[in-house]
Structure 1
Amino acid sequence: MPFRAPTARLALKPVSPSRIPGELDGAWWPRTRDLTSELSALADVLDPLWGRITRIAVDRRGWPVIPRRLFVNGHVVKVGWFDSERDPHRVLLLSYTAGRWDLLVIPPETAVPSATRLLAAASVRAGSPMTATALMAAEQARHDGVSEPPVRPPHGAARAARRLR
């Protein structure tokens, strides 16, 4: 079988026995907001690394359509969502064999330099773990007064923020 390059843009922390559940395990930078194809590519890469992915949860404000299930590597992956009380820049993946994994979600429209910095920052084991939202906020603050396009909030986040005011 010929080599097939992974389609998911992904950076992962090294697996560690001292892993803290809920801490970021890396970052994912989808190419589009087509969650069906993007999650299929992500699970396709992670299944061999982390064991069979069985469930995925995303923040629903970031995706126009959320499928209820995906067919990946010969099995069904259930897809769910959470609301803003959780970290909106995070995707949660569950595996029966390896447990829970959390990834920073970098919006697809993020400029390459910003996405590169975020991928690197989320995939380093640090003494004080940052949340996905804290990493995104730090990257956004870096752009204040800089000509590089800023990191954009998830689709629909501005509308949701206006409703809260």
Structure 2
Amino acid sequence: MATASPPPPPPQPLLRLSLAPQSVMPRAIDGAWWPRSYDLLAELPQLLAGLPRAWGHITSVTVNGATWSAVPDRMLVSHQVVRLHRTLTASAAHTIVLVAPGQGRWDLMVVPPDATEEAAEPLMAAGAEGRT
């Protein structure tokens, strides 16, 4: 009697991320990210896995506390602890800040998850150009 193997897990949706080209000049935005929800615990692991290796290990993430659902003080991502911070600053309403000690800080514009593709495209393009 043959046993059936379990079905493979569903494929991960593609990461919707546009990064500005690397530059020595500082800029306000380093790219744009279009998550599928405001559930940081579900969205952050895929984002961090899709970042360039040159950015190093992200150990700290700051998000707008009014925008994202429950955010604990830290979470485990790929066997690494990532500290999570919430801010209520108006200027950070649509950004996520990623920090890797000794490597740098990157600010990504967050495209609202419920944005239509038509509305998201120019925002993603602006992020890829390093502008808001």
- Superposition TM-score, scaled by structure 2 size: 0.82
Q: Tell me the percent identity.
A: 36
Tell me which protein shows more strand as a share of its residues.
Answer: 2
Structure with the larger RCO, 1 or 2 (CA within 8 Å, 6+ apart): 2
Root-mean-square deviation (Å):
2.0
Partners of 2:22 and 2:13 lie apart in 1 by 19
Q: CA 1:38 to 1:11, structure 2 compared with 1: closer, same or farther past 3 Å?
A: same
Q: CA 1:8 to 1:69, structure 2 compared with 1: closer, same or farther past 3 Å?
A: farther
Partners of 2:34 and 2:22 lie apart in 1 by 20
Matched, 1:110 2:115: yes
Which residue pairs with 2:79 in the alignment?
Answer: 74
Q: The residue matched to 1:53 in structure 2 has which SS?
A: coil
Q: CA 1:99 to 1:31, structure 2 compared with 1: closer, same or farther past 3 Å?
A: same
Q: CA 1:30 to 1:49, structure 2 compared with 1: closer, same or farther past 3 Å?
A: farther
Matched, 1:16 2:34: no
Contact 2:63 2:92 in 1 (8 A): no
- Structure 1 residue aligned with 2:55, among 38, 41, 50? 50
Structure 1's unaligned 5+ residue stretches are 131-165
Measure how far apart 1:84 and its partner are: 2.7
Matched, 1:120 2:116: no
Which residue pairs with 2:6 in the alignment?
Answer: none
CA shift digits 1:76-125 (9 cap, x unpaired)? 11111101343211111000132110000111000111111100011114
Q: The residue matched to 1:109 in structure 2 has which SS?
A: coil
- Superposition TM-score, scaled by structure 1 size: 0.67
Tell me which protein shows more helix as a share of its residues.
Answer: 1
Partners of 1:65 and 1:30 lie apart in 2 by 16
Contact 1:58 1:80 in 2 (8 A): yes
Partners of 1:91 and 1:40 lie apart in 2 by 14
Matched, 1:59 2:64: yes
Amino acid at match of 2:15: A
Amino acid at match of 2:83: K
Q: CA 1:9 to 1:31, structure 2 compared with 1: closer, same or farther past 3 Å?
A: same
Structure 2's unaligned 5+ residue stretches are 1-10
